[in-house]
Amino acid sequence: MFKGKFITIEGSEGSGKSTNIRFVQDYLSSKNIEFISTREPGGTPVAEKIRDLLLDNANTSLCDDAELLLMFAARSQHLNELIIPALESGKWVISDRFTDASYAYQGGGRGLSWQKIAQLEQWVQGSLRPDATILLDIPVELGMERVRERGETDRFEQEQLGFFNRIRESYLKLARENPERFHIVNTQPAIEYVHKQLIQVMDKLTA
């Protein structure tokens, strides 16, 4: 077992990941817990280059299987270069997305086989799974309204509402199937209420 804890933050577009990850970071700092914060796809120089490929609006010909394989290629590099060494050293790792996103986006959104994703998960990660996953949940229409307010969108954000509805349904399915790991936080209300929910989750994880 690793010395540090591995916490992943999941959610579909417009769920408030950036704002709430900063809150989690501030919480851990207040508890004097040493941590690193990273993201997927990305987190290392090689994985960030793969991220650029995946998000580039010009790559409209990228097929679904290639998208999934690129996600796991980036993840493999991310794990070996950054996540595993940090956990072994005793640091907590806070990751903006991880493999649950592959089940939600490529499995739910794209319709790829969850069994294929599970095979890649086992190959790339072995027995490594997050200690806890915070799912930031929001109705799709509201989330996409927030995305449009931000301005320019990436290759994923330009998909239709049906794509994002399937993603949300997949995340909620994962949460139902893994209740011991998932903590659902409703990000529709005012930010003060969202932060109260996050404090309750983080208090449990740091107890």
Q: What is the DSSP string of 4-34?
A: S-EEEEE--TTS-HHHHHHHHHHHHHHTT--
Decide if 1 is inside a domain: no
pLDDT at 32 over 90: yes
Range of the domain at 89: 6-206
The whole model's pTM is what?
Answer: 0.94
What is residue 75's predicted lDDT score, i.e. its pLDDT? 98
CB atoms within 10 A of CB 10: 27
Q: How many domains does the chain have?
A: 1
The CATH number assigned to the domain holding 23 equals 3.40.50.300
φ and ψ of 90, to 5 deg: 100, 0
In a domain, residue 42? The reply is yes
Answer yes or no: is 64 within a domain. yes
pLDDT of 150: 80
In a domain, 131, yes or no: yes
Q: Report whether pLDDT(1) > 70.
A: no
Please state the rounded mean pLDDT for residues 34-44.
98
pLDDT at position 2 over 90: no
Do the domain assignments include residue 148? yes
In a domain, 47, yes or no: yes
Burial of 157 (0-12, 13-18, 19+ CB in 10 A): middle
Q: Mention every residue, 6+ apart, whose C-beta is less than 8 A from residue 60.
A: 155
Query: d(Cα 102, Cα 108) in Å, to the nearest integer?
Result: 9
